[in-house]
Amino acid sequence: MIANLSRLPWKAAFWIALGALVLALPFIVLLTGERAPSTSLLWDFAMGLGFGALAAAGLQFVLTARFQPVTRPFGIDIVYLFHRYFAIGAVALMLGHFAILYIWFEDALGDLNPLTARWELTMGRIALGSFVLLVITSELRKTLRIPYDFWRYGHIALAIIAFGAAVAHILGVGHFTGEADKRILWLGVAVSWIGLIIWTRLIRPFLLWRNPWRIVENIPREGGVHSLVLEPLGKGLRDWIPGQFVWLTLGATPFALKEHPFTISTPSEHGPNVTLSIKPLGDFSEWAAHTHPGVKAYIDGPYGAFSIDNDPDAKGFVMIAGGIGITPMMSNIHALQERSDPRKVVLIYGNKDWESAHFRDELAKLEGQINLTVVHVLENPPDGWDGETGFIDRIILAKHLPEETRNWPHFLCGPGPLTDVVKSELLEMGVPLPAIDSEIFDLV
């Protein structure tokens, strides 16, 4: 779904190499570890799968810790995608580890009854069950209709239980970890992960709590969107680039983990206040969109890399948005306006009808101020409409995107089916893959 895997290739390569090292660490331990005298290759392979699984699982804490140096080169959507696939990979390795032992070394699994079984083997089974549950509840959250907040709390609790049980299992079983230095290494790894959890769940929320914001304005927009203007009561955000987003907490403390991502729709040149434009789509956004000035808020960010600033040499920009996917485009367009940037922007914007076209008046005004062409595409156009109709398709793209735009950066944001279709059409039209970048508003 996402083409432009890395927006900052060298930094991305560094983090990928570091991730690979973390994954390789258990295998180094395995290769240099003290082997039991009479083990077979298959047995060692099963152990290797177990170690690899734990390394891949442990990496998840880093991927979800939202360290800006890690997220910035990729964009947080890509980082969450890594998280998702690595987690599935980790569970596949664990199942492989268990399956080999179950089929060829059943005696090693011992008694299944937790009351009489060896504790370290029970720990292994708890870890396996918890990791499987983690993946199933995440992949099927929407099908199972699990409310997001409930899922998130459960996800964190299960992850901690699963990882703790897995480390206890490895140390308790003691294969390849019998020597003191190996045990110290594993304990060190476990302590580092605990440190990460303390940072993400306690220290960072504490820092956010010490630095509150306040809503100073709530501006109703077209299509039911509300723009909340927030002012920092303490320190403002450190410089943000256009197209970035923040995690917003309203009506709770940052410790409650009830934060939601929203794009900053004003350029950093307008700081320190930030504006978030919110479309009421569910419980939180409905409530947030209607909050009044004076309400306290907490902001964690900035994150993301869906930005014109990643292509300083671009000759122009193509932006294709659907519905509320317009917010990062507004942020980037405002930055061009603020900087009196003469480069051309072609914005193709799809909506159900004219009423739901957010920011349509502002876009019309901006067309007169900067080198911007807006093409509205309406599924249900009003009487007398002479613009584009239906869905954004190959004919519309070819009509409004002349040959000279092919190598310009293309930004896509909107419902999944829209970005998927548009991306494949653009590729067929000859737009190179690295020139297409898409933002996902649905991280899980």
Ligand X SMILES: Cc1cc2nc3c(=O)[nH]c(=O)nc-3n(C[C@H](O)[C@H](O)[C@H](O)COP(=O)(O)OP(=O)(O)OC[C@H]3O[C@@H](n4cnc5c(N)ncnc54)[C@H](O)[C@@H]3O)c2cc1C
Residues that bind ligand X in the complex, under the rule CB under 6 A: 148, 245, 259-263, 277-279, 281-285, 304, 324, 327, 441-444
| DSSP-assigned states of every residue in 262-328 | EEB-S-GGGTTSEEEEE---SHHHHHHHTPPTT-EEEEEEEE---SGGG-TT-SEEEEEEEGGGGHH
Q: Which of 420, 421, 398 is nearest to 318 (CA)?
A: 398
Angle between helices 9-32 and 41-63 (to 10 degrees): 140
Report angle CA 287, 290, 292 to the nearest 5 degrees: 120
Q: CA of 51: how far to CAs of 19, 27, 177, in Å?
A: 15, 7, 11
Closer to ligand X at the Cβ: 220 or 282? 282
Q: In terms of CB distance, is 83 or 182 closer to ligand X?
A: 83
Nearer to ligand X, 425 or 437 (CB): 437
Per DSSP, what are the bridge partners of residue 389? 378
CB of 300 to ligand X, least distance (A): 11
Min dist CB 65 to ligand X, Å, is: 15
Compare residues 7 and 169 and give the one whose CB is closer to ligand X: 7
Round to whole Å and give the CA distance between 246 and 237.
10
| Least distance between ligand X and beta carbon 356 (Å) | 13
Considering the complex, what minimum distance in angstroms separates the CB of residue 347 from ligand X? 16
Q: How far is the CB of 243 from ligand X (least distance, A)?
A: 10
Which uninterrupted H or E stretch holds 66?
Answer: none
Comparing CB distances to ligand X, the nearer of 176 and 240 is 240
SS3 of 146, please? coil
Task: Give least dist CB 310 to ligand X, A.
Answer: 16
How far does Cα 16 stand from its chain's mean position? 16
Return the residue matching tokens 């083409």. 3
| Cβ 241 to ligand X shortest distance, Å | 14
CB of 282 or CB of 416, closer to ligand X: 282
Q: How far is the CB of 324 from ligand X (least distance, A)?
A: 5
Sign of the torsion angle spanned by Cα atoms 171, 66, 210, 251 = negative
Q: Would you say 50 or 304 has its CB closer to ligand X? A: 304
* In the complex, least distance from residue 303 CB atom to ligand X, rounded to whole angstroms: 7
Between CA 324 and CA 313 the distance in angstroms is: 28
Nearer to ligand X among residue 162 and residue 278 (C-beta): 278
Question: Nearest-CB residue to ligand X?
Answer: 282
List the one residue out of 198, 193, 173 whose CA is nearest residue 183.
173
Measured CA to CA in angstroms, residue 191 lies from 7, 56, 119, 171, 194 at distances of: 32, 16, 21, 13, 5
Q: Which two tokens stand for residue 220?
A: 């109703």
Nearer to ligand X, 408 or 441 (CB): 441
